[in-house]
């Protein structure tokens, strides 16, 4: 070491520095290249799992989906079991109707137990026309008095669907000014009795009862 420093040979500083810098640069380059290759391998290993699911991933997803569908099939009957049974739904709560706002000649519609009901405030002319019918001419013979409550003949309460196929007939229409069914031409009079067309029977009457002169309860009492 001393001999080296005691040497009279001149130092070529620029040359030596270039060599050292070149060596350092080469080392840094090799290290950078090595890290780049390692990183490239890591990315190559990670990318397939992110971009494109493997067969194992597909089987996992398919199994999960099947489990979800199977679970829904089990849950649906459970939810259905919580709903009220048909008998409870069919029972239906009675509905009270205030008749006072219904003017003479008018008709109101309401639903009871999921079925349409007509309440018609008949005029004196409509009542007379219904009462004067020759019963032998009727397809489904029934006197008007059997279709209304005693002393309440101005009020006609009937189900609101044609007895042919269930269409809703138009009130105050047809030859007898009762109802006319636009679907197949059935005709009913002011008592709701069939007078023409394919309907086989009269408009049925729901159970109802008067609780006062101006109030009626649908779903209470006996049918007329």
Predicted local distance difference test score (pLDDT) of residue 221: 78
Q: Is the pLDDT of residue 104 over 60?
A: yes
What is the torsion angle, in degrees rounded to the nearest 10, for the CA atoms of residue 196, residue 197, residue 201 and residue 202?
-50
Region 208-215: mean pLDDT is 96
Cα–Cα–Cα angle for 114, 119, 124, rounded to 5 degrees = 165
Domain coordinates of the chain in residue numbers? 2-82, 90-218
Separation between Cα atoms, residue 173 and residue 144, nearest integer Å = 19
The answer to whether the predicted template modeling score (pTM) of the entire model surpasses 0.85 is no
pLDDT digits (tens, 9 = 90+) for 74-97: 333 333 333 334 443 445 799 999
Are 219 and 112 a contacting pair, CB within 8 Å? yes
Catalytic residues: 184
Q: Is the pLDDT of residue 150 over 60?
A: yes
The strands making up 107-112's β-sheet, listed across from edge to edge, are 107-112, 115-121, 155-159
pLDDT digits (tens, 9 = 90+) for 194-203: 999 999 999 9
HSE-CB for 149 with a 13 A CA cutoff: 20
Assign domain 90-218 to its CATH architecture: 3-layer Sandwich (2.102)
pLDDT digits (tens, 9 = 90+) for 110-147: 999 999 999 999 999 999 999 999 999 999 999 999 99
């Amino acid at each position: 070491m001393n001999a080296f420093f005691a040497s009279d040979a001149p130092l070529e500083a620029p040359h030596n520095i270039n060599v050292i810098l070149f060596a350092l640069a080469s080392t840094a380059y090799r290290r950078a290249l090595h890290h780049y290759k390692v990183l490239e391998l890591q990315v190559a290993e990670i990318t397939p799992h992110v971009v494109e699911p493997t067969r194992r991933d597909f089987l996992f997803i398919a199994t999960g989906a099947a489990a979800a569908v199977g679970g829904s099939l089990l849950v649906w009957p459970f939810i259905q079991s919580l709903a009220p049974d048909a008998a409870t739904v069919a029972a239906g709560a009675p509905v009270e109707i205030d008749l006072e706002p219904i003017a003479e000649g008018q008709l109101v519609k309401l639903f009871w137990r999921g079925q349409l009901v007509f309440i018609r405030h008949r005029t004196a002319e409509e009542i007379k026309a219904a009462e004067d019918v020759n019963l032998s001419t009727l397809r489904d013979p029934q006197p008007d008095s059997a279709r209304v409550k005693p002393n309440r003949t101005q009020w006609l309460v009937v189900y609101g669907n044609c007895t042919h196929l269930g269409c809703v007939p138009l009130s105050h229409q047809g030859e007898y000014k009762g109802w006319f069914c636009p679907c197949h031409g059935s005709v009913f009079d002011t008592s709701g009795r069939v007078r023409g067309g394919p309907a086989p029977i009269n408009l049925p009457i729901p159970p109802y009862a008067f609780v006062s002169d101006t109030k009626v309860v649908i779903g209470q009492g006996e049918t007329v």
